[in-house]
Structure formats: structure tokens, C-alpha cells
Amino acid sequence: MKRGFSLLTLFILVCMTLAGCSESGGVESAKGTDTDAGGSGYFLWENTRITGYTDLGLRQKQLIVPAKCTELAYGALRENTTVEKITFENNDMQISQSAFWGCTSLSEISLPSNISEIPANCFQECSSLKKFTCPKNVQVIGKNAFMSCSELREIVLNEGLSKIANSAFFQCSSLKEISFPKTVTEIEESAFEGASAIAKISFSNGLKVIGLRAFYQCVALKNAELPETVTTLEDLAFTYCDSLESIRLPASLTELSKVAFGQTHPIEVYVKKDSLADREFDNYNDGTMTKLYY
């Protein structure tokens, strides 16, 4: 009788221990299983598309998107405040808009190498992301892609990238330096607005358009030397750059906004003699500027 009671007690203790491990979320590295939407894996599925997380998936600090996944649906992995690292087994999959929006603990991610675009709102408000390297085939960084990534300090842009869309790095207040590859032709509206720590920008020949408010309130920027391929400089592009000391305007400019600049301190503007920037100086000079020739 005593032996039977002891075996029963042992059995109950084992079951309680296993249940506790299962519910604690103690496994922090999780690989999504090939279950359907109602299964017990870490992701919700529609065939080979991931559409969201299960409750268990929301408790993991590390997630591996399995090879069977061919697409992350709109907002599929957004607003997970626990996950810190996400990796992918399939390099040929698609990623939709807002995929990781609001993943506030996400600090490490390497996207599939064959994607051609960082979609709109992809990493918006990922406030723990410190460094990001664009996959080699990316051609466009979409609208609001890194908006309000307040801890983003380094972004490595790939050769082949052609456009940085509206507000892509809006309010990325820790970004210190940016280097554009020669393939970038357009920096759109407010792309780096409020990136208040940027002190150095390296432009490359190939750039044509700098959009409305592109570098508005980049208050740490001291110098800007636009390449001899820029044709368009739009309104407020370098306005309220409080540390700006000098800027070089290329002879290639054919469209120069009268309000591209707006400073509260002296600034030296270098122009090519007889260029548009030379002829139009009196129209865009806000009273703080001194014209010099290069």
C-alpha cells in the first residue's frame, strides 16, 4: 500500500514539474513549427504565409522563421515587445509592410538576402534596434521604414539601393553618420528629418534629388558637400541645421528652392561661377549666408 502511494506521489510531482516548464516560457530560442493556424507552434499560418504569433510565440526572446515560410503577411510580426532576435531560414521569401512595427525589444535581425525592398513601416518604433545592414539586393527603403528607431546608431546602405522614401529615418535621433552609395538617386521628403545626432554625411555622385525637408533639423550636421549630379534641392531641405557651417552647391543644379535653407547663424555657401546657385544667390540667401566660389 505504501509503495503504491509513493509511486502515485512521484507521478504527480513529475507531471507538475513538466507542466511548470511548459508554462514558464523558459525556452528563449524558438523555431516555428509547421503547424496550422490553430496548432501549438510559435506562428499563425495560412498555408506558407505567416500571419501572426501564437501566445507561446509572443513569449519568446529569439525566433527562427522556418524555411517553409514564403511570406510575412501585413503586420505579421508586429507589436511583440518580448522578442530580441529574429532570423530566417528562407532567403527567397517576401516581407510585407509593417512586418516588425512596434517590436520594441528587437535588437538583432538579418533579413533574407534576396528581398528587393525594406517595406513601408517595416521597423517603425523598433526602439532597441542599434545597427542595421541592408541586404545586398535592396533597391528601395520604404516610407517610414525606420521611423522613430530612437536607438539606431548605424545603418549600412548597400550598393544597388536607389531610393530612400518619405520619412524613412524620421526622428532616428541616435544616428551619427550616413554614407550613400553611388546608386542612390533620390532622397525623398523628410527622409532624415529630426535625425539630430547626424554629424557627417557622405554623398556620392549619382544622387539627383534631395526632397522637401530631407535633412530638416539635423542639428549636429556641420558641413554638406552635394555631388555634381544633384539637379533638384527642394524646400527646407537643410533648414534648422543649427551647426551647419558650410555647404557646397553643385553646378548641376537646375532646380533650387528659395527656401532650401533657413539658418539662425552665419553659413558659407560654395558655388560654381555662373551656375544656377551663383545666379540665384540673392533669392535664397536668408541674410545669414556668405557666397564663396570653388
Per-residue pLDDT of the chain (294 residues; tens, 9 = 90+): 445 545 555 554 544 444 444 443 333 444 544 443 333 499 999 999 999 999 999 999 999 999 999 999 999 999 999 999 999 999 999 999 999 999 999 999 999 999 999 999 999 999 999 999 999 999 999 999 999 999 999 999 999 999 999 999 999 999 999 999 999 999 999 999 999 999 999 999 999 999 999 999 999 999 999 999 999 999 999 999 999 999 999 999 999 999 999 887 999 999 999 999 999 999 999 899 999 999
d(CA 81, CA 102) in angstroms, rounded, equals 7
Domain of 193 in residue numbering reads as 116-293
**Cα 145 from Cα 166, distance rounded (Å):** 9
CA-atom Rg of the chain in angstroms: 25
Q: Please check whether residue 71 lies inside any domain of the structure.
A: no
Report if residue 44 sits inside a domain.
no
The verdict on residue 284 lying in a domain is: yes
217 assigned to some structural domain? yes
Domain presence at residue 256 = yes
Q: Is residue 278 part of a domain?
A: yes
* Buried-exposed string 188-216: b where 16+ CB fall within 10 A, e elsewhere: bbbbbbbbbbbeebebeeebebbbbbbbb
Q: How far apart are the first and last CA of the chain?
A: 101
Assigned C-alpha cell, 143: 516610407
What is the rounded distance in angstroms from the CA atom of residue 45 to the CA atom of residue 189? 36
The beta-carbon contacts of 105-110 under 8 Å, at least 24 apart in sequence, are: 105/61, 105/80, 105/81, 106/80, 108/84, 109/85
- Would residue 21 count as lying in a domain? no
Look at the chain and report how many structural domains it folds into.
Answer: 1
Q: Which CATH number characterizes residue 269's domain?
A: 3.80.10.10
Nearest by Cα to 112 from 96, 131, 93, 84: 93
Residue 38 is assigned to a structural domain of this protein: no
